[in-house]
Amino acid sequence: MFQLFDRAGASRAHVPELSGCYSEHACSESCSCIGNMLKTCFLSSVCGKAPLNTKIVGGQAAVQGSWPWQASLHRITSGSHFCGGSLINKDWVLSAAHCFQSTAAANVKIYLGRQLQTGSNPNEISRTISRTVTRLITHPSYSTTTQNNDIALLQLSSSVTFTDYIRPVCLAAAGSVFGGGTKSWITGWGKLKFADTQIPNILQEVQIPIVNNSVCNKAYGGIITSNMLCAGLDEGGKDSCQGDSGGPMANKNNSQWIQSGIVSFGRDCGIPKFPGVYTRVSQYQSWISSPISSDLPGFVSFTSTESSSVFLKC
C-alpha cells in the first residue's frame, strides 16, 4: 500500500462569452442589456487576462504579476502560508475543501498580488489586498477519505480592485474537455521536494501535461472519479506538493487563462508513474455560481482533443 497526501501546508454546457460577471446596474458601453435591469459584462475584458505573463517553459520562479489570480492563504494565529487559492471575481476565492479540515474561516487571511512570502511585495504594499474571510463554503459531499468533491469557496471581507497584479481567472465551463497531453500550468508556494521542511519564498510555476483519467485511475488503484483531473510526467520530478493545495491549475486558450483544476492530492510529490490529482473545476459550475449573488465568475468552454495513453515526456 502507498500513502496518499493532500497538499495543504499542514499535511498535504457551453457558456457564451457574454455570460461573465453580471450585476443589477444600469447598462454601460462594455455590457449588453438583458431585460430591464440585468447586465452581462464582456468576459474577455475581465477574466483570465494576465498582461505581465509571457510564459514559455516551466519549473521556475514566477515573474511578478504572471499569475494575478493567485491567492496565498495564511492562518492568522501563526501568520504562515498553508494553502493556495484563486481569485474568481472581486469578492470570492476558490480553493480546496481539505485545506479547512482543521482551520476555521475566522483564522484565515487571504493575500492577493503577492510574489514573496517574506520581504518586500511592492504590488501588495501599495494596495490594500489582504482580506479576512466572512464566509467559508465547503462542498457538502466532500469526502475526507477519497478526496472526492475537494472544493471550497471563500467570501472576502470586502471587494478587491482589479489591477495588472490582481485579476480573476476564468473557470472551465461545464462540458469542457482536457485531453491527455494538454499543457497545463500549476502555481503556488508549495514545497519544492516532499522531504523539504520549508516552503519557497518566491511564487513557483511549473508546466505539466494532463494525464487521462483511465491511466491515472490505474496508478491510484481505482480511486479517481469524474470529479478529478490528473497531470504529471511519467518520469516524475515536476508536480504540485504540500503548500500548493487549493491553488489553480490553468490552461491557456488564446489570450485567456482558464482554470481547469484545483490542487488536491497525490502520492508524495513528483513520484514517477503517479501524477498529481486535481479537482475538476468544470464539474462544479452550478455549485460555484449558486452562492454568488452578483458578478458571476467567468465560465469559458475549453476543448483540447490531445490524447495520450501514456504520460507525456517533456
- Show which residues are catalytic: 98, 150, 245
Q: How far apart are CA 66 and CA 179, in angstroms?
A: 25
Q: What are phi and psi of 106, to 5 degrees?
A: -65, -15
| Paired sense of beta strands 108-112 and 130-138, if any | antiparallel
Q: Where are the beta strands (DSSP E) in 101-147?
A: 108-112, 130-138
User: What stretch of H or E contains 289?
Assistant: helix 285-289
Residue 59 gets which letter from DSSP? Answer: S
Residue 311 gets which letter from DSSP? Answer: P
Q: How far apart are CA 32 and CA 37, in angstroms?
A: 10
* Residues 211 and 236: beta-carbon distance below 8 Å: no
Q: How far is CA 274 from the centre of its chain?
A: 20
